[in-house]
Structures are given as C-alpha cells and as structure tokens.
Amino acid sequence: MAEKLWQGRFEQPTNRMVEEYTASIHFDSRLYRYDIQGSIAHCRMLADCGIISHDEASLIVQGLGEILREIERGELKLEASQEDIHMAVEHRLMQKIGEVGGKLHTARSRNDQIALDMRLYMRDVIQHCRKLLVDVQESILVLVKQHLGVVMPGFTHLQHAQPVLLSHHLMAYYEMFGRDDERLAECHRRTNVMPLGSAALAGTTFPIDMERTARYLNFPKVIRNSIDAVSDRDFLIEFCAAAALVMAHVSRLAEELILWSSTEFGYVTMSDAFCTGSSIMPQKKNPDIPELMRGKTGRVYGNLMALLTLVKGLPLAYNRDLQEDKEAVFDTVDTVVQTLSVLSKLLPELRFDRERMKEMAAQGFTLATDLADYLVSRGVPFRKAHHVIGQLVQYCLQKDKDLRDCTVEELKQFHKAFDVDVFLLLDVATAVDQRLSQGGTATSRVEEAVQRAEAELAARKKALTNGANV
C-alpha cells in the first residue's frame, strides 16, 4: 500500500473501509485532463516567479505530459488508496521524477486545486451543452419550415382553445431553449474565474502570480476572496439549475410527443429508429425515448436539490462534504448531454398528419373568440360580446351543430350586429392569419420569427466555434 502524501502527522495507516468510503477517484478520475492542465500552468507560474527553477519545472511538465498519455492509453491503474485524481497524479509524478515532483504542490492545496479542476471542466461542459442546444433549435427550425402552413388546435388546460400554426407551437420551444442558452452563457461567465492560489483557505506566503496562472489557463479574471474560492459551489448549483430548466423544457416537449403519437390524438408518428416494441403485444410501437426524457428530468431535479442541501449549512471554509458535489454534477452533465444529443436527432424524423391536425383545429368551438372579436369590431363591448358568444355556443351544443353550420338568421337571434361577412372568419386558416400582433401565430409573424431565429443561430454558432461566450 502506497503511503499517503499527507501521512506525516499520522501514526496509524488508514483503515481499508475508510479508504473505500472516502475515495472519490472512481468518479473524479474524469477530471484527469483538467487536473494535469492546471498543474502544468501552476508549475510554469512557480518557475516564472522564481519559486522553483526552470529546470525543475521542465522536468515536472514533462512528467505530467507522460502521465496524461499513460491515463489516455489506459496504462495507469487508479486505486481507492490513491484517494482522488489529484493524489493519483502527484503520486505517479513522484514515482517518475523523484522528490522534485513534490515541489509541484508548492503554494497550493487540494482545496483550490479541485475548485480549479471543476471550473475548467464546467467551462468546457457548458459550452458543449450550448452547442447541443443549437443543434436542437436547428432541428426545430427544420420542422417549422417544413410545416409552415399546417394548422392545429392550440390548447389551454389541454382543451381546444384557438387554432394556431404547428410552426408557431414549435417555435415556442425554440424560444424556451434560447433562454436556456442565455442562462448557460451567464453561468459560464461566473464559472470562468481562476481560484488557484487561494491554497487551503487563506492564500499563500509564496510570491505567486495568480494573474499569470489565469493567462496560462485562459481565465479572464481571478477570484477575489480565497475563502470563497475554496468553499462555495454556487457555479455548480447554477449549472444544475440551468440544466433542470433545460430538462423541464425537454420534458414538456416529450410529453406532447407522447400524447400526440397516441391513437386518440394521431397528430404525429415517430420514426421506428426512436421507438421500441412490446415483449408481449406485437402491434405496439412505444414512444420510449420521449418517456425516458421525461423520466430523466426527475433525476436532474434531484441532483439540484442534493447540491442545494449539501451547501445549505456548511460553515466556512472547505468541508469534506463538498466531495459529494461531483457525482451529482457529473450525472447531470451526462444526462443533459445524452438527452439533447438524442433529441436533435429525433426531431427531424417526426412525421405530422397535416389533415388530422387541420380537422381537429376547427373542433371544440375554437373560433368562438373570433366571433366575439367580430362583434367588438362593430361596437359591442367585449364583455357583452363574450356573453353573446357563450350563449351561441350553448345553443350549438344543444342543436349538435358547429358555429359554421349556423345561418345568418340564427346568429342574428343572438345579436343584430351579425351579418353575412361573419362567415369569412369561420375558417381556421383565416383565423390564424388574423393574429398579426407581435409574436402572434399569423403566417407572416412566424416567417419573421424563423428569419430572426436563423440569424441568431448563425451568429451563436460562429461565436461558440470561436470560443466566445455570447
């Protein structure tokens, strides 16, 4: 068993059960690249500041590069006795280059080291999630442009409300995912701060240059308080909160796909490539992928609550409780990345039943509001018009007929303002294109929204490719 790098103060070896209970290397090993990247920058800064020699720094950097390659080739065996990825890398470094490897940890602690690793990791993760959101939004736009003239019933309370364009309905999700991207961009800005040099909690007595380390690692700024640097995880919680909202929006879309693909709705058919069958019922085609998206949303919510609970009563500064942040964060990352990746591929494969949606768009008296607006345009107060049309709907229900089936004479029984031109409004396509207010469902407004969205996505893709945070 290798001796712990902190063993000097202890008389007894660590109990094997304690080693297993406290070890985090089985999950924080995914940070190896960031840990080595941070160590190389720290080493170079130490040499630049004259704290270690340049020859020592060259030896350390060379050794770290070799360890990186060993890990990526699967040659370095990681064990619970090594505690975490930081200790594993440092232990291997000292095996390779001797005691000079111990100089790497000058002027730093595992406390600021792990804070750095997580910020480096999350910086990349956030930008990756933002690129995946772009993919999802582009997939939505493909559907929107393919189905621009398709009318469907709009819903409130899951009841038919007013006719809308399918494209308008889908663009609502485009907007939701756009706000998700904005939240992630803000989270990235607060994550992109360099904590290394804060040491355990109080800073260091060595004449380090944290700004220099920040430049090596492409951080635009340095943390302003050493205690805050090592003891808070709000940037991780903020990511998980943003991720929870991403999943909430995915789950709402998934729920609609599940409903719409049912026999009762019949609005959409999902590709066989994104469905599964039944082990007993040969006819079944189950929407398992959207169902799992809906289900996995709960685990992301749970991870957020776990992190909030983790930090709610922690005294300053660092406490070992904070080791528990990583599994929740890593699980959230994996879940969101996988979900968005699958969603962007599922969406273009959807096939909508245009005729079914158009047929249903007119059912349930969805044009009632248009008739009320018609009366208002002829000087009838809205509340009076609302009451009149409510009575008309009740009449139609009793007569088992639709609004379009009424004659002018019947309509005039409810208000004298009705005339023959009212029938021009009793068409779902006409009703849709009357909604010309900003953000409305009229075809011209949706076309404007698509043009704006395409320009937005092109600019965001270019910025993300160039490493900008917009």
* Co-location of 120 and 239 in the same domain: yes
CATH value at residue 414:
1.10.40.30
Phi-psi region of 208 (alpha: psi -120 to 50; beta: other; left: phi over 0): beta
246/297 same-domain check:
yes
Same domain for 316 and 192? yes
Examine residue 210 and state whether it is found in any structural domain, yes or no: no
User: Is the domain of 145 the same as that of 265?
Assistant: yes
C-alpha 46/C-alpha 197 separation (Å) is 11
* Amino acid 466: pLDDT: 87
For 22-47, letters b (16+ CB in 10 Å) and e give ebbbebbbebbbbbbbbbbbbbbbbb
Q: Which residues are catalytic?
A: 157, 278
Both 160 and 264 in one domain: the answer is yes
Please, which residues have CB within 8 angstroms of residue 40's CB and are 6 or more apart in sequence?
61, 64, 65, 216
Assigned domain for 2 exists: no
Examine residue 315 and state whether it is found in any structural domain, yes or no. yes
- Cα torsion at 140, 294, 328, 331 (round to 10°)? -60
Non-local CB neighbours of 97 within 8 Å, separated by 6+ positions: 59, 60, 62, 63
Cα(239)–Cα(124) distance, integer angstroms? 12
pLDDT in tens, the chain (470 residues): 455 554 666 667 767 777 777 678 888 899 999 999 999 999 999 999 999 999 999 999 999 999 999 999 999 887 766 789 999 999 999 999 999 999 999 999 999 999 999 999 999 999 999 999 999 999 999 999 999 999 999 999 999 999 999 999 999 999 999 999 999 999 999 999 999 999 999 999 999 999 999 999 999 999 999 999 999 999 999 999 999 999 999 999 999 999 999 999 999 999 999 999 988 998 989 999 999 999 999 999 999 999 999 999 999 999 999 999 999 999 999 999 999 999 999 999 999 999 999 999 999 999 999 999 999 999 999 999 999 999 999 999 999 999 999 999 999 999 999 999 999 989 999 999 999 999 999 999 999 999 999 999 999 999 999 887 76
Last residue of a domain, one of 80, 106, 132: 106
In this structure, the strands spanning 193-194 and 221-222 are parallel
CB atoms under 10 Å from CB of 466, counted, come to: 8
Question: Same structural domain for residues 259 and 342?
Answer: yes
- Cβ proximity of 371 and 163 under 8 Å: no
Indicate the residue among 62, 86, 106 that finishes a domain.
106
The CATH number assigned to the domain holding 253 equals 1.20.200.10
Query: Residue 113: its pLDDT value, please?
Result: 97
Q: Does a structural domain hold residue 444?
A: no
Residue 414 and residue 458 in one domain? no
Instruction: Evaluate whether residue 207 is within a structural domain.
Output: no
Question: Are 47 and 165 in the same domain?
Answer: no
Query: Is the domain of 62 the same as that of 169?
Result: no
Angstrom distance (rounded) from CA 219 to CA 118: 13
Q: What is the pLDDT of residue 467?
A: 81
Tell me: do 175 and 61 sit in the same domain. Answer: no
Q: How many domains does the chain have?
A: 3
Tell me how far apart the alpha carbons of residues 444 and 452 are, in angstroms, rounded to a whole number. Answer: 12
CA-wise closest residue to 103 among 168, 49, 173, 161:
49
Q: Domain containing 396: what range?
A: 365-434
CA atoms of 358 and 428, how far apart (whole Å): 8
Q: What tokens were used for 467?
A: 């490493």
Domain-located, residue 214 = no
Of the residues 79, 106, 133, which one is the last residue of a structural domain?
106
Q: Does any domain span residue 439? A: no
* Residue 3, pLDDT score: 58
117 shares a domain with 66: no
- Which CATH number covers residue 67? 1.10.275.10
Position 440 in a domain: no
The residues with which 155 forms a beta bridge, in sequence order, are: 160
> Is 300 in the same domain as 371?
no
